[in-house]
Amino acid sequence: MIRIGTRKSALALWQANYVKDQLEKKGQSCILVTIESSGDQNLLKPLYAMGIQGIFTKALDHALLNNDIDIAVHSLKDVPTLLAKGIKISAYLKRGAANDIMVYQKKFINWEKNNLIGTGSLRRKAQWLRKYPYHITENLRGNLQKRLDKLSKSKWGGAIFAQAGLERINLLKNKFEVLDWMIPAPGQGTICVASLEKNKVLGETVKPLNCIDTQLCSEIERTFLNKLEGGCTAPIGAHAFIKEEEINFHGGLFSLDGAKAIFYKTKVNINKAEGLGRKAASQILRKGGYELMLEIKKLMK
């Protein structure tokens, strides 16, 4: 019996059940174990103000290390780039939609009349303010249903979400717009499975769920993030995808208000992907990213 650890939100349960179904199709017997994270308990503070790495994954890490569960299912974008000692990502499931979307308030008229938007993400806030510098962002936290409820009762023009999450639990009902100009979070749209490094048999059991292309792109994005952030929550976007045997990569580092931005965009043959994440981060650091990261860290103290 494989004990699958998950958070209690509707999206987390959907993702855990999806993994459970995939494993059961391969003849495994599974059960879900729900665990509450500190990120779910405190919905008032913006995530960046809570000063915790892996705020949505730490409780599941503890459960894994304490042998209360066998695997943990996460949204990859919530998983720190430095994993807890003894834990590894055993499978990257095939990626869903990676992009962000603007979900409009039902009373939305236009951005001149509705210049307030909701988001709890520094990355989304910075990129939105870069495009719309006279807009005002307000903190939006909670599970997807709570965020949509808050949007419906607000005076905002809209709120920014990841498309994949709303699609998975059938909540994409309001009018929305795909923000194809906004660089998503590293790993956005990808479900991953974590397990203990020492549990080799379980690692092999989960391995068939792994999508090689998703793993390659995810690891490029996460390496880029790791080399840039140095443990600091910062407005960083990264997206890698494969098209016609080439890896397309677009990364960006933004000041908190979006006024400054440093981008790196490239396309390489899939056989030359090794080191791409590190190279991209190095290019951004060389183009002023190091100074911008220092500035961000000072402002967030």
**Predicted pLDDT of residue 259:** 97
> Hey, which residues are catalytic here?
78
pLDDT of 32 higher than 50? yes
| CATH topology classification for 2-94+190-210 | D-Maltodextrin-Binding Protein; domain 2 (3.40.190)
**Predicted pLDDT of residue 51:** 43
Same fold, 100-178 and 223-299: no
- 199: its two tokens: 């549990």
**Predicted pLDDT of residue 40:** 44
Instruction: Report the share of the chain in percent with pLDDT over 90.
Output: 86
Pick from 202, 242, 225, 233: nearest CA to 278: 225
**Predicted pLDDT of residue 151:** 96
**Predicted pLDDT of residue 43:** 46
Look up tokens 């749209």; give the residue: 189
Q: Is residue 37 very low, low, confident or very high in pLDDT (cuts 50, 70, 90)?
A: low
| CATH topology classification for 100-178 | D-Maltodextrin-Binding Protein; domain 2 (3.40.190)
pLDDT of 53 higher than 70? no
Superfamily of domain 223-299, CATH level 4? Porphobilinogen deaminase, C-terminal domain (3.30.160.40)
pLDDT digits 0-9 by tens, 112-152: 888 999 999 999 999 999 999 999 999 999 999 999 999 99
pLDDT digits 0-9 by tens, 186-221: 999 999 999 999 999 999 999 999 999 999 999 999
**Predicted pLDDT of residue 38:** 55
- For range 262-269, the mean pLDDT: 97
Pick from 225, 218, 230, 229: nearest CA to 273: 218
DSSP secondary structure string for all residues of 158-182: EEEEEHHHHHHTT---S-EEE-TTS
pLDDT of 100 higher than 50? yes
Cα distance between residue 59 and residue 206, in whole Å: 21
pTM: 0.92
Q: Where are the domains of the chain?
A: 2-94+190-210, 100-178, 223-299
**Predicted pLDDT of residue 48:** 47
